[in-house]
Structure 1
Amino acid sequence: MPRISLQIASLGEIQDLMLVGGPYGFLSQSPQTDSSCPTCGQFSKLSEAVTKLQLLTLELERKLEETEQRLAELETCDCPKSCRLENGSIYLDGTSWREDCDTCSCVKGNIQCRPVSCDSAEASCKNPVQIEGECCPVCLKKCRFQGVIYDHGESIRLSKCLECKCRDGTMSCIRRDPVKDCPPLECPPEEQFSMEDQCCKICPGVDYCSLGHNCHANATCINLKTTHICQCDPGFAGNGIHCEGRNPL
């Protein structure tokens, strides 16, 4: 590239001036100036670059407007949305899964859980048991004792001080000593008395109904001084052990 060095007067001083030839004309360079002026060719290229940037900006604005319009349509669209759990698992809309003792479903991006439905037929015994780690109660083994079937947890009293209880297929019997195994009483010995189906003596005025009674479901147990009675509720008639509804007049 040709370079031509000249000396010219600039601002009252003689300065060295160098003309550098280029593809778009000559560019003057002065060692004592901070910048140089572009040639006509360079200005033309700069103008073309600015025009391209303007066209690119218009194209980007058009695409941005289209994108915003599509986002607005998606927000109003009833589209399937997945669900993400805290552990990172992702479930599609409409799928269900088991989580501990809950059944969970993904419904339009929302997680809905409900307790596991237990089959009542599987726990149709009198005393279902809740086992650790199981969601639904289960029935344990029944017992056969003296030709009679008893559910787990059922008890029978063979005598005042001998009680047997079914425990998961095995009938366990416990005999109580009325002297050693009964709690001490606060009333004098002459006031203590025994009930027909109780091993331990009791004092007058205790809550006999809480010790067990055979009153009807529509009857009320009433404590007396030394025993209890069953009285049918209003609207029912009978002896308290058997109560029937009265016919309206």
Structure 2
Amino acid sequence: MKAEPSDQKRLLDLQEIDTELDRLAHRARNIPEVAEIRRLDGELDELRNALAAAETALGDLDREQRKAEADVDQVRVRAERDTERLNAGRVGSPKELERLQSEIASLQRRQGELEEIVLDVMERRETAQARVVELRGRLEALTEERTAAEERRFMAASGIRDEEAATAERRARVAAEIPDDLLALYTRLREQHNGVGAAALRYGRCEGCKLALSTAELNEIRAALSDEVLRCEECRRILVRTTDSGL
């Protein structure tokens, strides 16, 4: 293939731009906030699950407390009714009086036991309530942290997109100056060789594969016409001669 030396050198400008676009694409894929947001999302899911479990436990304790208090009220009402009956003298035989007194004492003991149950439930409910409050606070703080990380990610991505747009525009201008056949070869080689389709020959070394050319290879390059499109024998990339080639 033939191409003017100036067009071949323009390939190096295009390669530099394409390398910059690859770097920008890599930056876009590896914005630190993306990993941070992924971590925060995992922590948020765990917190939401923990909060849901804590709220369920609190709801269960609320129902348990209401039932325990209702049991206390039921026993207290019955004891008060029996006591009122006793105090009013509406008891017939001594046997009935003894039975009523025994029942009142039993109800009072039962009321005391139930009140202990209520106190125990209230203490457990207080602990559960504190746990819910703690988890809600942590969830709110973590949500705010994620929002801030998302804003940073958006700003970073926006900046990269702006750089990509400006670089792509510059690439289009440079690519338009390169002959189609040379551009097609460069594009194909770039796809085959990790994004590098053209490399400079500097001081007898290919900048693509970083290997030094042999004396025989350098002699062949010296003998080649300036418009001959050369290829590195090792990596097969387009080899562009420059003032620093060492020829």
- Tell me if both proteins adopt one fold, taking TM over 0.5 as the criterion: no
For the pair shown, which has the larger CA radius of gyration, 1 or 2?
Answer: 1
Determine which structure has the larger strand proportion and give its number.
1
Determine which structure has the larger helix proportion and give its number.
2
Structure number with the bigger relative contact order (C-alpha 8 A, sep ≥ 6) is 2
**TM value normalised by structure 1:** 0.23
